[in-house]
Amino acid sequence: MNDFTSIAGALARVRARMDAAALAAGRDAAGVTLVAVSKTHPVEAVQAAMAAGQAVFGENRVQEAAGKFAGLAGARLHIIGGLQTNKARDAVAVADVIESLDRKSLADAIEKAVQAAGRCPDLLVQVNIGDEAQKSGVALAEADGFIRAMRARFGARVTGLMCIPPEGVDAAPYFRRLAAMADAHGLGVRSMGMSGDFEAAIAAGATHVRVGSAIFGARG
Ligand SMILES: *Cc1c(COP(=O)(O)O)cnc(C)c1O
């Protein structure tokens, strides 16, 4: 069964690797936030991570996240990955950050939900950095225009960019491309890097890495 006692050690190892990657890149480790991706893992796993000092979590299903985090005071929740328009209202209600703003219909739904809720999470524009047919994220050719439009609409709530590079190839060029795009728009946040490549992401300027399996183990 689940062994939640292994989570503290796994977290410590990930944090040590993040620190080493920041040092190697000549960066301040404090400039990189670990988003612990707890999707599919039970609330006990999140509690074990919180007991080990972890405060920021990522989930990709709004319903699952709402149930899991309802009673967890002090946790900060990032919604990551493709977000359905009909889930925007719940996402606005529970999220501190929505990392997957990638199309006008979703922006419309978020704006409506924000007006009704009287609160607005921070927003990251997800860029389809490898221009892959199946992937969510705004297409590269439309990214600059979309980012400008979202900043005009949501102002300072748009804090940065997020990407998931193609699998099975060196992710570094994609990370560098996202960082350059964020620079060009004067956006501070770059959410990039997962269990398999977070060190390369930190080398390329990630401010947030989203790490799941290296902390919580394989997903069932
Ligand atoms: C699941 C997921 C992650 C974490 O992936 P791991 O390989 O388990 O670290 C990161 N980002 C997104 C968008 C995800 O859906």
Q: What is the pLDDT along the chain (220 residues), one digit of tens a residue?
A: 467 999 999 999 999 999 999 999 999 999 999 999 999 999 999 999 999 999 999 999 999 999 999 989 999 999 998 999 999 999 999 999 999 999 999 999 999 999 999 999 999 999 999 999 999 999 999 999 999 999 999 999 999 999 999 999 999 999 999 999 999 999 999 999 999 999 999 999 999 999 999 999 998 7
Start-to-end CA distance of the chain, whole Å, equals 11
Residues 6+ apart with CB under 8 A from 214: 10, 13, 14, 195, 198
Nearest to 194 by CA among 214, 180, 178, 174: 214
- Residue 194 CA: which ligand 1 atom is closest? 9
The alpha carbon of 59 and the centre of ligand 1 are apart by a number of angstroms equal to 9
| Nearest CA, atom 10, ligand 1 | 210
Residues with CB under 6 A from ligand 1: 37, 39, 60, 80-81, 164, 194-196, 210-214
- Please report the pLDDT score of residue 1 as a whole number: 46
SS3 for 137?
Answer: coil
Distance CA 89, CA 5 (A): 35
- Residue 211 CA: which ligand 1 atom is closest? 9
How does DSSP classify residue 104? Answer: H
- Residue 37 CA: which ligand 1 atom is closest? 4
Burial of residue 202 (CB within 10 Å: 0-12, 13-18, 19+) is: buried
Distance CA 205, CA 21 (A): 11
Instruction: Check: CB of residue 216 under 8 Å from CB of residue 41.
Output: yes
| Nearest CA, atom 6, ligand 1 | 212
Instruction: Check: CB of residue 165 under 8 Å from CB of residue 171.
Output: yes
DSSP H helical segments within the chain, as ranges? 6-24, 43-51, 62-69, 88-94, 104-117, 140-154, 172-184, 198-203, 213-216
pTM, 2 dp: 0.97
SS3 for 130?
Answer: coil
Distance CA 159, CA 147 (A): 10
